[in-house]
Amino acid sequence: MSAPVSEVVVWLILGLPVASFVLIAALYPVLRRYPAPAGWIAMLAIGGSLGISVWLLMEAIGAAGRPLDFETHELVDVGSLLITIGIRLDGLTAVMTVVVTAVSLLVQVYSTGYMRGDRGYARYFAYMSLFTAAMLGLVLVDNLVVLFAFWELVGLASYLLIGFWFHKPAAAAAAKKAFLVTRAGDLGLLAALIFIWVRAGTLDIATINTEVVGAVELGLLGQTTLTLFAVGLVAGAVGKSAQFPLHIWLPDAMEGPTPVSALIHAATMVVAGVYLLGRFFPVLEASATASDLIAWIGVGTALGAGLVAVVQTDIKRVLAYSTISQIGYMMFALGTGAYAAAFFHLMTHAFFKALLFLGAGSVNHATNTFDMRRMGGLRTVMPVTYLTFVIGALSLSGVIPLAGFWSKDEILIEAWDHQPAIFAIALVASGLTAFYMFRAIVLTFHGSYRGGGQPEPGGHGGDAAHPHESSWSMRGVLVLLAVPAVAAGFLTFGGEFQTWVLGALPHPEEGHFVFDLGVFLASTIVAAAGIGGAVAIYRLRLINVAALRTGMLRPVYRALESKLYMDLLVEDWLVRRFFHGGLVKAMARVDEQGVDRALDGVWHVSFEAGRWGRLVQNGQVQMMAVALVAGGVVVWGAVVLFWA
């Protein structure tokens, strides 16, 4: 069907944030001194993108989520290589653009309050615009190479924003770690795109999903080819979406400003991996190996990250591990065939997780710390933050009738149908979710205030001794985000949401509302148990945690507090000891003392033979030596030639 929308308008979605980035960069010398317009430029641009996105969503809904037809343009045409750039606009894209632009706009409004007075205010909004543009490009394009390009660019934006406060060594280190760890996964994606091009001759996403998958079914192309391609995609998704074992970058990424964590490291960029696998869902479906792989990685990550979240003392790290865990849900949903449910959860999660992060930022403004051991009792002084945070936590814990309940339940139902073991593990993780969230709420908002932290250079806090509610721009955004955190789940009742995203598949089906009383009871009981447990332990103190920690559960605590030893394994053993200490050192020794010395030796011998050796340091003699060698060469060449 031909598009009712002009292509230029669609490109504007990402064009506006690009323009914002360029404009802020161009005006930077001025904006550095008078930063306020930077925020306005960025918000105007993203507001425009949001408007267009909503319009496009309406168009996509009108087309039942089926792709609208746009022309594609030649970018590179060399030999047999053709790289095109064009728009892929269907229900999935439309949903993603709306989620990205909506959360992005709200986060930027919040940022005008949160980042006020920061020396890098203008730079911050430039980076945020850059990120939004790259993320929108990622979900809009129709070609795998171009998608990969935007994929890397969101990584760049993430790098710049994690390291935004680059004066902090921890931030600079975290930025580097994030880039490197995700790039390790990106290698898989790069390999996948090279592989599929060499084997199947195309980089067009729709063609891969239809013709190439069809060719495999007809036996024209080996199943192994498809599986290797799918596994490459999974590797890329695992890196970007912080799944085991490449999840280690995300908790460190919390060094970035909190609105960044909300937008990039919770709501949008980290779910790019989910988007990627969803975009190539026909490929994933056609490869049982890849499906099983991502299903087990996802559910394992959901459980493991949930466990680690329980012992975190930093509120943002609780949320970070929670994000890893929740993306695990989306991943195993894709692996178990629950495509629509995965994206439903992606959407609801984007809203309530952004809400929770921004709530944590609000708390940080009041207390100058993210350490929950220094918080407590904020319920009374920060009522808006408290209430919205609780709403977010309830939604995340899957309490009916909030948004998180509907999306999580749908995933659980499909998991139960597909693989009961995955369902069981996911159910445990679900209980953990409720537990760690309410542990965080109790530690942060209940009890008595424990003093807050010291203001740090570049920090934004006020007087931590007397915490106060945050500015209207921050509170307002919290309230606005609480609305979808409550109500976004209602989109499932007529199966509308599912219909939109299913329309993106080659063989779309009608979405429908699923409900299962058994799963509902199980998940509700588990959530209630988690909440009750947290309140009992941390609020009512029915169990002495400190005693447990030093007593019976000491090894468990130690393992969890060491993040299940993953950082140790990768950073210390793999990178520091094996790579730097072993491989690099050994090869450098070979290079310096083997190769270089040996070659130097050759010259040395020839000089000694000519008795010029001792005079080599003298410039005149050097030229004579050169002349000598040159002469020798000519004579030798002549001899070879004419003797023969």
Partner 1 sequence: MGEGFPILSILVFLPLAGALLIALLPGQRVPWPAAAVRALPGNQQAHAKWIALAVAFATLVIALVLFVLFDRADSGFQFTDTFLWISAQDAGFDVSYAFGVDGLSMPLVLLTGLLTTIAVLISWRIDVRPKEYFAWLLVLETSVLGVFTSLDLIFFFIFWELELLPMFFLISVWGSGRRSYSAMKFVLFTFFGSAFMLVGFLVMGVVAGTFDMREIQESALAGAVLPVPAIFAFIFLAFGIKLPLVPVHTWLPDAHTDAPTAASVMLAGVLLKMGGYGILRLLFTLMPETAAAADVALAILAAVSIIYGAVITVRQTDLKRLVAYSSVSHMGFVLLGVAGLGVVGMSGAAMQLVTHGLITGMLFVVVGMIYDRTHTRQISAMRGLAHYLPLLSTMLVFAGLAGLGLPALAGFVSEVTVFLGAFGRHEPQTAVALVGVLLAAGYVLWALQRSVFGPRDERWRELQDVRAWWEFLPLGALVSLIVLLGVYPSVVLDVFELGVRPIAEGIAVFQPDIVESEALEVARLGRGG
The two three-digit tokens of residue 21, written as one number? 């980035």
Return the bridge partners of 82, or none: 77
Q: How far apart are CA 39 and CA 124, in angstroms?
A: 9
Q: How far apart are CA 321 and CA 437, in angstroms?
A: 11
For partner 1, the binding residues in 67-126 under the rule CB under 8 A are 72, 75-82
Contact 52, 93 (CB under 8 A): no
Residue 625 lies near partner 1 (rule: CB under 8 A): yes
Closer to partner 1 at the Cβ: 232 or 273?
Answer: 232
CB atoms < 10 A from the CB of 589, how many? 10
* Minimal distance, residue 146 CB to partner 1, in Å: 9
For partner 1, the binding residues in 48-77 under the rule CB under 8 A are 72, 75-77
- The correct pick among 34, 608, 622, 624 for binding partner 1 (CB under 8 A) is 622
Residue 617 lies near partner 1 (rule: CB under 8 A): yes
- The correct pick among 596, 605, 610, 624 for binding partner 1 (CB under 8 A) is 596
Q: How far apart are CA 236 and CA 72, in angstroms?
A: 25
The phi and psi torsions of 620 (rounded to 5 degrees) equal -60, -45
- The correct pick among 114, 179, 296, 343 for binding partner 1 (CB under 8 A) is 179
For partner 1, the binding residues in 429-488 under the rule CB under 8 A are none
The two three-digit tokens of residue 222, written as one number? 């080996």
User: For residue 168, what is the DSSP state?
Assistant: S
The two three-digit tokens of residue 138, written as one number? 């990622």
Closer to partner 1 at the Cβ: 214 or 459?
Answer: 214
Closer to partner 1 at the Cβ: 510 or 572?
Answer: 572
Residue 578 lies near partner 1 (rule: CB under 8 A): no
Closer to partner 1 at the Cβ: 215 or 400?
Answer: 215
- The correct pick among 1, 517, 609, 640 for binding partner 1 (CB under 8 A) is 640
- The correct pick among 585, 593, 614, 615 for binding partner 1 (CB under 8 A) is 585
Closer to partner 1 at the Cβ: 401 or 631?
Answer: 631
Query: Is the alpha carbon torsion for 437, 413, 210, 298 positive or negative?
Result: positive
From 354-362, 492-500, 530-538, 630-638, span contacting partner 1 (CB under 8 A): 630-638
Residue 609 lies near partner 1 (rule: CB under 8 A): no
The two three-digit tokens of residue 578, written as one number? 């094996």
- Going from the C-alpha of 31 to that of each of 23, 28, 393, the distances in angstroms are 10, 5, 38
From 319-327, 476-484, 562-570, 614-622, span contacting partner 1 (CB under 8 A): 614-622
Q: How many helices (H) and strands (E) does the chain have?
A: 30, 2
Rounded to an integer, what is the distance from CA 67 to the centroid of its chain? 26
Crossing angle of helices 403-418 and 472-487, in 10° steps, is 40
Closer to partner 1 at the Cβ: 207 or 313?
Answer: 207
Closer to partner 1 at the Cβ: 448 or 617?
Answer: 617
For partner 1, the binding residues in 158-177 under the rule CB under 8 A are 159, 163, 166-169, 171-173, 175-176
- The correct pick among 11, 127, 148, 406 for binding partner 1 (CB under 8 A) is 148
Q: How far apart are CA 144 and CA 232, in angstroms?
A: 13
For partner 1, the binding residues in 185-224 under the rule CB under 8 A are 187, 190-191, 194-195, 197-202, 204, 206-207, 210-212, 214-215, 220-221
- The correct pick among 510, 561, 600, 608 for binding partner 1 (CB under 8 A) is 600
* Minimal distance, residue 212 CB to partner 1, in Å: 6
Size of the site for partner 1 (CB under 8 A): 80
CB burial string 435-446: b at 16+ within 10 A, e below: bbbbbbbbbbbb
Residue 636 lies near partner 1 (rule: CB under 8 A): yes
* Minimal distance, residue 326 CB to partner 1, in Å: 28
Return the SS3 of 553.
Answer: coil
Q: How far apart are CA 368 and CA 362, in angstroms?
A: 10
Closer to partner 1 at the Cβ: 180 or 540?
Answer: 180
From 147-155, 461-469, 494-502, 538-546, span contacting partner 1 (CB under 8 A): 147-155
Contact 129, 20 (CB under 8 A): yes
Closer to partner 1 at the Cβ: 32 or 539?
Answer: 32
Locate tokens 């280690």: which residue?
248
Q: How far apart are CA 385 and CA 148, in angstroms?
A: 38
* Minimal distance, residue 166 CB to partner 1, in Å: 4
Closer to partner 1 at the Cβ: 401 or 632?
Answer: 632
For partner 1, the binding residues in 521-560 under the rule CB under 8 A are none
- Say what the alpha-carbon torsion angle 598, 600, 606, 610 is, to the nearest 10 degrees: -150
From 294-302, 444-452, 558-566, 631-639, span contacting partner 1 (CB under 8 A): 631-639
Query: Is the alpha carbon torsion for 305, 306, 308, 309 positive or negative?
Result: positive
Return the bridge partners of 78, or none: 81
From 243-251, 343-351, 401-409, 633-641, span contacting partner 1 (CB under 8 A): 633-641
* Minimal distance, residue 59 CB to partner 1, in Å: 22
What is the H or E stretch that residue 77 is in?
Answer: strand 72-78
Pairing verdict, β 81-86 and 72-78: antiparallel
